[in-house]
Amino acid sequence: MRPSALLPALSLLAAAAAKKVSYDGYQVLRVKTGARQVEVEQKLVKVKHDEWDGVENSHVDVAIAPAQLPAFRALGLDYSVMHEDLGASIAAESAARPAWKRHIDDMAWYDAYHPYDEHKAYMETLHRAFSNNSEIVSSGTSHEGRDIFGIHIWGAGGPGKPAVLWHGTVHAREWISAPVVEYLTLQLIQGYGKENGTTGFVDASDIWSFPIANPDGFVHTHTTDRLWRKNRQPPPPNAKNSSCFGRDINRNWPHKWDANPLGASSDPCSLTYKGEAPADAPETKGLQAMVDKLREMPGGIKLYVDWHAYTQIILAPVGYNCTRYIDTLGQHVKMAQLAADAILKVEGKAFAYGPSCATLYSTTGTGLDYVYEVGRAKWSYLVELRDLGEHGFVLPPEQIRGSVKEQWEGMKVMLGLLDEVFFDGNGP
């Protein structure tokens, strides 16, 4: 998701708030930019807003407070409405949840979104169902002391195979990413021992799944501000604004941290605040340690996927330089294309693909680039999940099942091609 480079009005409201932030009456609008990108951005500066996402020379999605709507309309921009009342959409998203029976065969888990403690309980349930071939693991502790829990599963011959590493909810408001990671893990566990290809996937690799990489931010989205993005670290002592909490964990990795001024922000109030120093967020530090550990194990890291929302796109390295292409870009793009083809067949959702910076926008200090260039992963991807902007971050729970099922089809393709060469030669 592309956050705003502007001072986000909404995040300031929630930075250290004790009461729940209300989005009643807020509208989320898709503003057409086309070839008038700069002109539109200059007009938008005049109105307080939170930028959700955008595609260069196409559109930008913005959330506007009720009091700012008249000023926005006066700008004369071409736009469509994504959420007529964001508060109502959030309320519907968190409406009564069906009872989950705490058994892996009960798919009601994927009919609703869940809080942190329930996700932790679900991971324990997965472990119990595959107890001889799994263990609960942790990549560390968050700033507020929460466990960054996960599960490690393996097949015949025991652990120690090349690693497949997944994590989600790096950005707290991207709720759909956690059930995706969980569902992929569930499919591997339920399918093991059956003649459907899944046994081979698990026997060939050690799978490391972390559904919630940013637990403090995720809890904050449930208790205080549904649209919170960053972690919950306090601002630096010398910050001009002491209410601007959080670091963007996916701009905080200690690789190309400040390689491109467009890739992250030095402003603690920005949604893309990269921190005072590389890996100064405990969540990043823990994930980095996990990557470094897996890199040194037999076979290293075979596949890494970092799940986000929204835009429906599969991104390969790198994000920090839009004219740098990795040697294996051709292979990365081919695998992404085949995965996207499989995803499309489930419910007709089209996913684009390509190198991160050149395809989307500049990003520095990312897990995608660290795991590929420092962690030496053979395959490294960032996947932006549903949707294309109909709902954005507030994706209705009715779309959870479709989202997780299509990602499983795409992941089956990836897992089946981990040792594929595709063709010899370098990328462009």
**Structure confidence at residue 19 as a pLDDT band (50, 70, 90):** confident
The rounded distance, in Å, linking the Cα atoms of 3 and 5 is 7
Domain with CATH 3.30.70.340 in the chain: 1-96
> 176 and 218 in contact (C-beta within 8 Å)?
no
The phi, psi pair for 303, rounded to 5°, reads: -145, 135
Amino acid 103: pLDDT: 78
Domain with CATH 3.40.630.10 in the chain: 107-221+260-416
List the catalytic residues.
384
The rounded distance, in Å, linking the Cα atoms of 353 and 414 is 14
The amino acid sitting at 301 is: I
Beta bridge partners of 353: 314
Dihedral of CA 265/224/179/174: which sign?
negative
Helix axes 177-191, 400-416, angle to 10 degrees: 60
Amino acid 46: pLDDT: 94
Beta bridge partners of 50: 63
SS3 content of the chain, % helix, strand, coil (to 5): 35, 15, 45
Does 427 have pLDDT greater than 70?
Answer: no
Q: List, as one string, the DSSP characters of 283-325.
A: HHHHHHHHHHHHHTSTT-EEEEEEEEESS-EEEES-SS-TT--
What is the radius of gyration, based on Cα positions, of the chain?
21
The rounded distance, in Å, linking the Cα atoms of 422 and 357 is 23
Q: How far is CA 320 from the centre of its chain?
A: 18
pTM higher than the cut 0.75: yes
Superfamily of domain 1-96: Metallocarboxypeptidase-like (3.30.70.340)
The phi, psi pair for 301, rounded to 5°, reads: -100, 120
Closest by CA to 377, choosing from 313, 314, 297, 274, is 297
The phi, psi pair for 239, rounded to 5°, reads: -65, 140
Fold held by 107-221+260-416: Aminopeptidase (3.40.630)
The rounded distance, in Å, linking the Cα atoms of 343 and 99 is 29
- Encode pLDDT of 102-158 as tens digits: 778 889 999 999 999 999 999 999 999 999 999 999 999 999 999 999 999 999 999
**Structure confidence at residue 1 as a pLDDT band (50, 70, 90):** low
The rounded distance, in Å, linking the Cα atoms of 326 and 372 is 10
Q: Which residues of 206-230 are buried (b: 16+ CB within 10 A; e: fewer)?
A: bbbbbbbbbbbbbbbbbebbbbbbb
**Six token digits for residue 270:** 């920005």
